[in-house]
Structure 1
Amino acid sequence: MGHREHREHREHTERTGRTGRSGQAGHVHVVGGGLAGLTAAITAAESGARVTLHEGHRNLGGRARTADGPYRTNEGPHAVYQRGPFGTWLARRDLLGPVVAVPPREGLRFRFRRAGALRTLPPAALLRLSRRDPRTAPVDGAFREWATGQVGEDGARAAANFAATALFHHDPGALSARFVQERLRRLTALPPEARYPVGGWARLVERMAAHARGLGVLVETAARVDTATLGELARTGPVVVATSLGAARALLDDASLTWESGRTVLVDLAVRTRRGDAFVVSDLDAPGWLERFTAQDPSLAPAGEQLLQGQFAIGPDARRAEGVARAEALLDLGFPGWRERTTWRVEALADGRTGAVDRPGTTWRDRPSVVRGDGVFLAGDQVAAPGLLSEVSFTSGREAAELAVRAAGRRSTSGVDLNQS
């Protein structure tokens, strides 16, 4: 298939959600039922492949999981970004479902911690820097040095810590200037890009899973795949490994599957409602963020209560208590009396589970390749694919599926294994 034909084929699939070639593209296996795996399964099925999705847990979703019970917390802050490819793809298939944006009145309750005090406005230098085209930021240089040259040291520090919302990294200023600036630009876009699926991300996962089954995908849960099982699957068709990078490294016995990620403390709590509480408190003194998610979706907590979720990046040798202490200091500023009002609280440490970060001299292209050889393809949030947060899982899942379908088609028509791409 030439470039033009491939483009026309993709455009047709985007419009219709199917190719009309059911059963003609062979068998594709997908290991992992998170966002990357579900995207891969749907993409392969829409291209006419027979697809089996193998998920080791009893429930689908991976890290896109929402807790049961009265407090509908996601595993860390989650949002779909309006201008990104994932939201567009979901909307075209009627999978996005009801989403909510930040209510305008809540935008007035955005607060910033600067020099230890709570403020209503960010520094002007941060706003000036956020308007810079990311293409002007060097790939090879650190964000801290580049941004200091643009707006001064204080503005650079504030911008780096604000961008940490999408980085989950304890030292965002040390990362590639291009990488950080791309995220800063999208985080400060007006109107805000973030959209929140009503009821939490579990609802989105349910819609994606139902759509996959409707396309004929065989979904097997509580079906763990080990190295031996993977070899058996690969004999019947290409395999998309859509797991965490650590799990893929063990499964494929490939020591090269490494990339830096963040290490962050997640703090979730419910408090009784009080007038005047902040909507968001962004820590510009250190990487940290608190958000009142019930401001946009009251269904996430019982009536009269507010659900707060926050993340506080810590260094590789730091203890969880350090992140918790920073969270409590931010709560003291933005949510007075929160201790007496707390009705529920959970803390967790997310280590290497928050997506890839790029050091100076690297871009997403330098991360582990989607193509692993021998009919195996890789997808996930630390793989060589562009995008912001979950968009990396989506983009890599889609690319891996397209390549797997192509390989399965060659196998089906030739009768020999040509999956060495």
Structure 2
Amino acid sequence: MPDRHHITVIGGGFAGLTAAITCAESGAAVSLYEAHRELGGRARTADGPYRTNEGPHALYNGGPHWPWLARRDLIGPLARIPLGALAGFRFHRGGRLRRVPPAGLLRLRGRTDAPADRTFHDWATSLAGPDTARAAAHYAAVAIFHHDPGALSAAFVQERLRRATRMPPEAHYPAGGWGRMIGRMAAFARELGVRVETGARVGALPVDDGPVIVATSLDAARRLLGDDPALRWESGRTALIDLAVRRRRGDAFIVSDLDAPGWLERFTAQDPALAPAGVELVQGQLPVTPDAGRAEGVARGEHLLDLGFPGWRERTVWRRDALAAGRTGAVDPPGTTWRDRPAVDRGDGVYLAGDQVAAPGVLSEVAFTSALKAATLAVRATGL
């Protein structure tokens, strides 16, 4: 007979592991199924010699997941940014690299009164003028991955701008890549008794085996839940560039594009272990429009590389380009908030978690918050 205290988690990424751990700590018997041969989802870190993630990943210490992870000793060692690297922060504006951002951007970043029912560009223009509004929207794209952040809800964009410009920085990086933290989460889940199966694609929801938490992409969730039309929300399309170049003195640390959304970062500046000695790992994300291809974003990224990493073509020892479509987190159009996104509780003992699901927060925080809510509801449904 099925265990009435059993909970199934479909998806072994950050959200799925968070949900599985929470359920197991509450006393439930938990089974987690991951279609890929490795856990982590988009938080997987590639095996060496170039330890890349699927696009830049950051862990914001101002979010609710930070203390939760810290209490369980799951964050682990963090990469440290040398003070000297900060001198290599560059802003692309007016076709050239600059050392300082526009003054208006710094004044705008502290605002906490942005409305949800106006576009960010409209709201920010009324305060600081169109040029500053455009630059601020493009800077915020580091945490949005959308081709036109200025057209989104002012409240949505402003929260990301405020947190992405906070000093000292909120963004931190687990040493060795996000995969190390995922490995710690997986080991902790197994210690709690979670049955973890990888390479296990689930084609249909389990029947009569307790609550189910679906911690997958919305596309995959829609297929599992019978093509539910409600499981849709706007996301971004982003060209991703991973590049390993031979070290050269004077290379930029970060290039933030203020003329268009885009960001390059030399991750080995803070974590040399991500690439072999003498080699720098550069990762970039360049958002593209819905009708554009990967090549458009890659071309913009190469222009930024020309400016910030002179001679990079001759120094390249490894490269990978990709296009992330619908995998870059939710974005909120004007007049909407996270409360309007697909609900966690789908009824009939099925719960949804992930970074496009109804939950407050920034990027991975959304996945975490929705997973925590899904787990709490699932445990309650078992009667524990």
Q: Establish whether TM, by shorter chain, passes 0.5.
A: yes
Answer yes or no: is the 8 Å Cα contact 1:288–1:312 preserved in 2. yes
Shift of 1:58: 1.2
1:108 to 87, 90, 105: 87
Letter in 2 for 1:240: I
Residue 355 of structure 1 aligns to a residue whose secondary structure is coil
For the residue of structure 2 that corresponds to 1:356, the secondary structure is coil
Residue deviations 1:61-109 (CA, integer Å, cap 9, x gap)? 0110111120000111001111111122111100100012432221121
User: What does residue 238 of structure 1 align with?
Assistant: 211
**2:342 aligns with one of 344, 368, 385:** 368
Is this contact kept in 1: 2:4–2:209, CA < 8 A? no
2:64 partner amino acid: P
Deviation at 1:321, TM superposition (A): 0.9
After superposition, give the CA deviation of every residue in 1:14-59 in whole Å (9 maximum; x if it has no partner): xxxxxxxxxx981111000000000000000011111111111111
| Superposition pairs of residues 21-420 of structure 1, within 5 angstroms | 26-133=5-112, 136-227=113-204, 230-232=205-207, 235-253=208-226, 254-409=228-383
Q: Any conservation in 2 of the 1:240–1:378 contact (CA below 8 Å)?
A: yes
Q: What is the CA–CA distance in structure 2 between the aligned matches of 1:31 and 1:310, rounded to whole Å?
A: 30
How far off is 1:220 after superposition? 1.2
- Aligned-pair distance for 1:222? 1.4
SS at match of 1:150: helix
Decide whether the 8 Å contact of 2:48 with 2:275 is kept in 1.
Answer: no
- State the AA in 2 paired with 1:138: P
8 Å contact 1:267–1:348 — kept in the other structure? Answer: yes
Amino acid at match of 2:84: R
How far, CA to CA, are the matches of 1:294 and 1:231 in structure 2?
44
Query: Retained in 2: the 8 A contact 1:160–1:180?
Result: yes
Give the Cα–Cα distance (whole angstroms) in 2 for the partners of residues 75 and 113 of structure 1.
Answer: 24
Give the deviation of 1:150 after TM superposition. 0.7
Q: Secondary structure at the match of 1:99?
A: coil
**How far did residue 364 of structure 1 move?**
0.4
Q: Contact 2:11 / 2:32 at 8 angstroms: preserved in 1?
A: yes
Unpaired runs of 5+ residues, structure 2, are none
Q: Within 2, Cα distance between the matches of 1:326 and 1:313?
A: 10
Deviation at 1:132, TM superposition (A): 1.1
Q: State the shift of 1:231 in Å.
A: 3.7
Q: Which amino acid aligns with 2:166?
A: A
Report the AA paired with residue 39 of structure 2: L
Counterpart-to-counterpart distance in 2, 1:101 and 1:83? 17
Q: Distance in 1 between matches of 2:35 and 2:292?
A: 31
Deviation at 1:205, TM superposition (A): 0.7
Contact map agreement 1:25 1:48 (CA 8 A) in 2 = no
How many residues are aligned here?
A: 381
- One-letter amino acid of the structure 2 residue matched with residue 238 of structure 1: P
Identity %: 71
TM-score, reference length from structure 1? 0.89
What CA distance in whole angstroms lies between the structure 1 residues aligned with 2:70 and 2:99? 35
TM-score computed with the length of structure 2 as normaliser:
0.98
- Aligned residue for 1:326, secondary structure, equals helix
Equivalent residue number for residue 7 of structure 1 = none
Amino acid at match of 1:86: H
Q: Is the 8 A contact 2:4 2:210 kept in 1?
A: no
Gaps in structure 1 of 5+ consecutive residues: 1-23, 411-421
| Structure holding more helix per residue | 1
How far apart, CA to CA, are the structure 2 residues paired with 1:57 and 1:409?
32
Whole-Å Cα distance in 2 between the matches of residues 400 and 361 of structure 1? 26
